[in-house]
Amino acid sequence: MRQAILITCVLVLFLAVPFKAQAEKIAVIDLQKILQKSNPGEEAMQELQEYQKKIGAKLQEKKKSLDKLKKDLQQQSLMLSKEAKEDKKAKYQKQAREFQSSYQRYQQKMQEKEQELREPIIDELIPIVQEYGEKHEYDLIMDKKNSGIVYNTNKLEITETIIQKLNKVWKKREKETKSEKQ
């Protein structure tokens, strides 16, 4: 019995050593940080904010109209007849439903626009990360936020390096695009 336990322990130790050596070839990137701090990410965020202002203005107008209708209903509720009160209440509820529907469409448009702006950045980013991983012989590069990582040492973090590489590639792509337009 003791011999079986001893053999099992020795096997576990021998198997753990190669596994540990392989596990050290892991790196972590913060995709959200890359999308926020890189040049293309900052450009995309600026464009998204401009888009938000443009389509958000219409939504704000509807909200003000709805708030005014609610205020009028509250102020006039004591003076209005029951039928007039019910009519105003129905009008308010209809406008509230329309506002809710508009708000949902607004949210959907914002998500679609964000996806549209992120897609070309991600398309440029994937080959950069792959090339970096191959060049530095990583077995695995994970996204810090979406992979469930709770802790990692800074020596595993390659986000800043990837941001620099993405900025270079993006700048080169912009130059090529400008020269093609001319």
The long-range contacts involving 103-110, CB below 8 angstroms and separated by at least 24 positions, are: 103/59, 106/55, 106/56, 106/59, 109/55, 110/48, 110/51, 110/52, 110/55
Backbone angles phi, psi at 138, to 5 degrees: -80, 145
Does residue 148 come out as left (phi exceeding 0), alpha (psi in the -120 to 50 range) or beta?
left
Instruction: Express each pLDDT in 56-104 by its tens digit.
Output: 888 888 889 888 888 887 888 778 788 888 888 888 889 889 989 989 9
Indicate the domain borders of the chain: 20-181
54, 68, 51: which is closest to 116 by C-alpha? 51
Q: Which residue has the higher pLDDT, 151 or 22?
A: 151
Q: Closest Cα partner for 163 from 118, 128, 134?
A: 128
Which pLDDT value is given to residue 109?
92
> Tens digit of pLDDT for each residue in 99-149?
899 899 999 999 999 999 999 999 998 999 888 888 988 888 888 888 766
Q: What is the pTM of this model?
A: 0.65
In the predicted structure, residue 176 carries a pLDDT above the cut 50: yes
- Residues 70-97 as b/e (b if ≥16 CB within 10 A, e otherwise) read eeeeeeeeeebeeeeeeebeeebeeeee
- Judge contact between 29 and 125, C-beta under 8 A: no
Residue 175: alpha-carbon gap to chain centroid: 27
- The pLDDT assigned to 3 comes to 52
Q: How many beta carbons lie within 10 A of that of residue 159, not counting itself?
A: 19
